[in-house]
Structure 1
Amino acid sequence: MDWIPLLFVTFKALVLGVGMFFAIKWHYDKGKTTNEKRAVLRGAGTAAAIFVLALLGLGLFTLVLVRKLGLDMSI
């Protein structure tokens, strides 16, 4: 019964080590092939715009809901 934790910990370390190796290798290989700054900036800008629009929509939804429920939001 004492060999089970040793076996599982060894297996877990091996699997995580192999996974980390391939994750680092994949990111390194991907970084070498794509050096297009324009595409990265466009993607970041799109993500930021979607975030701002979602935040604005949530704020407007909250404002409409508060007014519809008749809650007092005065400071």
Structure 2
Amino acid sequence: MDWIPIVFVTFKVLVLGTGMFFAIKWHYDQGKKEKEKETRAVLLAGGKVAAVFVLSLLGLGLFTFGLIRMLGL
């Protein structure tokens, strides 16, 4: 039996298996990193929307209060 195909096939399986393992690990880690950035961006955007809502509510309340005082209600 020829030993060269056995050695080359074994080497090929080991190299491709190792490469696949590190490729999957790298993509998994990149997804984790992106998820952290994405979560931070969503929280930042949500905070901005909440701040705009509170400021709008405050402005509407002040406008209503001024209108009521002006009309003498």
Q: State TM-score, norm by structure 1.
A: 0.49
Q: Which has the higher contact order (CA 8 A, sep 6+)?
A: 1
Q: Which is higher, the Rg of structure 1 or of structure 2?
A: 2
Q: State TM-score, norm by structure 2.
A: 0.50
Structure showing the higher helix proportion among its residues: 2
